[in-house]
Structure 1
Amino acid sequence: MKNERYEAGLKQLRALDAAAADGVLSSLETIAPEMARFIVEFAYGDVYARPGLDLKSRQIATVAALVALGNAAPRLQFHMGAALNVGCSPRELIEVIYVVTVFAGFPAGLNGIRVAEEVFRERNISVSWDRDEPARGDRHERGLKALAEISRVSGQDVVESLSDIAPDMGDFIVDFSYGDVLSRRGLDLKSKEIAVISACVARGTMTPQLRVHIRAALNVGCTQEEITETIMQMAVYSGFPSALNGLFAAREVFEAPSPD
């Protein structure tokens, strides 16, 4: 039976991709009609329809989580297409995948690129790249600058904590994570941190890194509400336990004195 939650959820879902959404729902009617109702009422009526995070940011969060999880290519394909429909550019989607690669690994990133390639091919989309981007000055200096801007003291503490056991790993963090990836143009810093938070929550194994990047999200302009909404949305994609763990980590950060 349709109700206000269902109607609100269906409106949100169809705003992403009406034809694909109707196809997903109709495919469930003969085998699991209640699953179709759960998707519409909970995922979109209860979660996506909430204020506090714009639809484009919600799609960035979802794409990041699904790339990080690496186990739901059809859903990732739907949400990449939906992201394009609500204002994400093709390059922004690729940049989200680059960011997630730092936190979920190259296999997850490569799988995400393959799905993006299929979505772009279906829509006859090509991505425009700045070929001079990789050569923007010394990567270590670029990484240090990005680390200071994004993660500040929390990030520097992580790098320094490795000095007695794996100093090269500290260099990898500065040079690759920040110098090669997080400093890239093409995706704003708030969106990058929403992607990082989503990936960390979805994977469920990175609470210390999640705390660092919740602080980083605050540093680059995310509000506590935006961070909380991002984490709550992960209940849909990686389950309630991972979202609850993420919320507990966020509360610790919000209540702690700033380390800067």
Structure 2
Amino acid sequence: MAKLSAALNQGLDVGLTVSDVREILVQLYAYAGFPRSLNALGELMRVLDSRKQRGIQDALGEAPSRPIPTGDALLAAGTANQTKLAGGPVKGPVFDFAPAIDKYLKTHLFGDIFERDNLDWQSRELATVSMLAALPGAEPQVQAHMRIGMNIGMTADQLRQICQVLADRVDADVARRTREALERQLALMAGH
């Protein structure tokens, strides 16, 4: 939590809004789990309270500009978002084996979360890659999100910058996993 507190302060100091940070921490529950997300949100509240006590007034930021669809409209929106992010329809044996996870990904992650327009998709992918890289064993997902980042306009150089920031500010292993995932993805793309 001490490292998170420092990172939250640094982000707010360079202009992230309360909404930006809160949105990232809410989204990351899908990757890190509810307990970690809830703990991180509690830490954000403590950081904001401490900053306020020191006279720092952080910009609040924006809420989503439109309501999130529900029911069949949510499934349609999530499927469209997932398809755009992935660069094509997402299917495979795991989704055939466990169709519920396919529906949850489409309706909740790519629907409920990615329909929230108060944080752009590139920022969401930056947070996702960083979070997944911090989880040993999630290397295939890091690589998939490297591809997603490129599908939505991030360049290989921008993704390499993520690796460098993770090396400088987080951990050498996290940076290594990120760099290796990027290189695997770039090699795959060069082969096609």
- TM-score relative to the length of structure 2: 0.84
Change in 2 beyond 3 A, CA 1:128/1:164: closer
Counterparts of 1:138-177 in structure 2, within 5 Å, are: 138-153=73-88, 156-157=90-91, 160-177=92-109
Q: 1:121: Cα distance to partner?
A: 2.3
Which residue is equivalent to 1:80? 8
Whole-Å separation in 1 of the counterparts to 2:189 and 2:110: 25
Give a deviation string over 1:23-81, Cα, whole Å, max 9, x none.
xxxxxxxxxxxxxxxxxxxxxxxxxxxxxxxxxxxxxxxxxxxxxxxxxx122122212
> SS of the counterpart of 1:164?
helix
Out of 62, 67, 79, which is 1:133 matched to?
A: 67
Whole-Å separation in 1 of the counterparts to 2:22 and 2:127: 12
Q: 1:227: Cα distance to partner?
A: 0.7
Whole-Å separation in 1 of the counterparts to 2:177 and 2:64: 38
Q: 1:248: Cα distance to partner?
A: 1.6
Whole-Å separation in 2 of the counterparts to 1:191 and 1:129: 15
Q: Percent identity?
A: 21
> SS of the counterpart of 1:144?
helix
Change in 2 beyond 3 A, CA 1:145/1:259: farther
Whole-Å separation in 1 of the counterparts to 2:174 and 2:64: 37
Q: 1:114 aligned to 2:42?
A: yes
Whole-Å separation in 2 of the counterparts to 1:120 and 1:241: 30
> SS of the counterpart of 2:105?
helix
Q: 1:95: Cα distance to partner?
A: 1.0
Which residue is equivalent to 2:23? 95
Change in 2 beyond 3 A, CA 1:233/1:208: same
Whole-Å separation in 2 of the counterparts to 1:182 and 1:259: 30
Q: 1:232: Cα distance to partner?
A: 2.9
Kept in 1: contact 2:31–2:132 (CA 8 A): yes
Out of 32, 36, 44, which is 1:104 matched to?
A: 32
Whole-Å separation in 1 of the counterparts to 2:49 and 2:170: 28
Q: Which runs of 5+ in 2 are unaligned?
A: 53-57
Report the residue type matching 1:94 in the other structure: R
- TM-score relative to the length of structure 1: 0.64
Out of 124, 141, 158, which is 1:192 matched to?
A: 124
Change in 2 beyond 3 A, CA 1:177/1:110: same
Max Rg structure: 1
Kept in 2: contact 1:201–1:234 (CA 8 A): no
Kept in 1: contact 2:166–2:175 (CA 8 A): yes
Q: 1:127: Cα distance to partner?
A: 6.7
> SS of the counterpart of 1:230?
helix
Q: 1:241: Cα distance to partner?
A: 2.8
Report the residue type matching 2:173 in the other structure: P
Kept in 1: contact 2:132–2:139 (CA 8 A): yes
Q: 1:128: Cα distance to partner?
A: 5.6
Q: 1:255: Cα distance to partner?
A: 2.0
CA RMSD of aligned residues (A): 2.5
Whole-Å separation in 1 of the counterparts to 2:33 and 2:61: 23
Whole-Å separation in 1 of the counterparts to 2:182 and 2:172: 15
Change in 2 beyond 3 A, CA 1:136/1:129: farther
Whole-Å separation in 2 of the counterparts to 1:235 and 1:136: 40
Report the residue type matching 1:174 in the other structure: K
